[in-house]
Structure 1
């Protein structure tokens, strides 16, 4: 019974931290406010999490790791088209991210001043590498690095905008598909 209570307390602290970081960002959130939201004594938060940074890491690291792992998997796949690659690998990741939208928003928008402060740029860089690799053996003109950066930035920012603003999964799913279709077929169309 005590173990269940401990896990319940950990989950309450975690949930309170998500809400606090989401509403205030990392810099403005405090352990005191998190404890108050979780309805636990301040010292109890430190029993479960060493400090505010450790709490942030517990929230965003699984999200960041999933993105990096999915991008690596996508980069090493051999589907017929970039859009098919997106449909089979990356689309599922974005839908999973939608389910953890507050955690993702904390990672990309609200973790300035931490080791995750450049997470969005890292994700864009991974996407750039993926774009270059997925088109290197195709009969598409060589793109300059700046253009590839613009494409990667616009795709990732578009997906993040959907996650930021869509509140129901069905709408988000349709929007993601439309943005990806426009994006991938647009790049493929450059060969015409």
Structure 2
């Protein structure tokens, strides 16, 4: 088997997994219409069925506790935009440092993984600070947890990384050493389909 076939097998859902995922996404979509006013599930489902390779990424978002939901539509590309909409930072993605360089810089007590590579492996993007703030317009997220967000190169080059949360009805942006990790900090992702 070639390496390419290994990848496609890894990222292909069984019919049962696909059906379960679509059912969960539809239920969440219908329960949270405020996140995507004016959009219809039938159109989202048609787009998902035409781009089945993206279902695996949505499955990974779901499997790790992200509760992905549609938060927008790009009229130029025809893509639906999904964000992790779990109330708190996804449980299956917490206790991670920011990126590979940060992970390798730790001499002891290394976390299991890092946010940047986990997102890439899942086929999703970390939310930017702007996207995080957009998400917070749709509800109250990360009232007890925090989420790494894309860090500007100038901050990362100096050893830092940024994360966000919501406290006191306000979205805060903080900094930490990129190698730090906490049980209550994970990351949220986005996916365009």
Higher strand share: 2
**When the two structures are superposed, what TM-score results if normalisation uses the length of structure 1?**
0.32
Higher helix share: 1
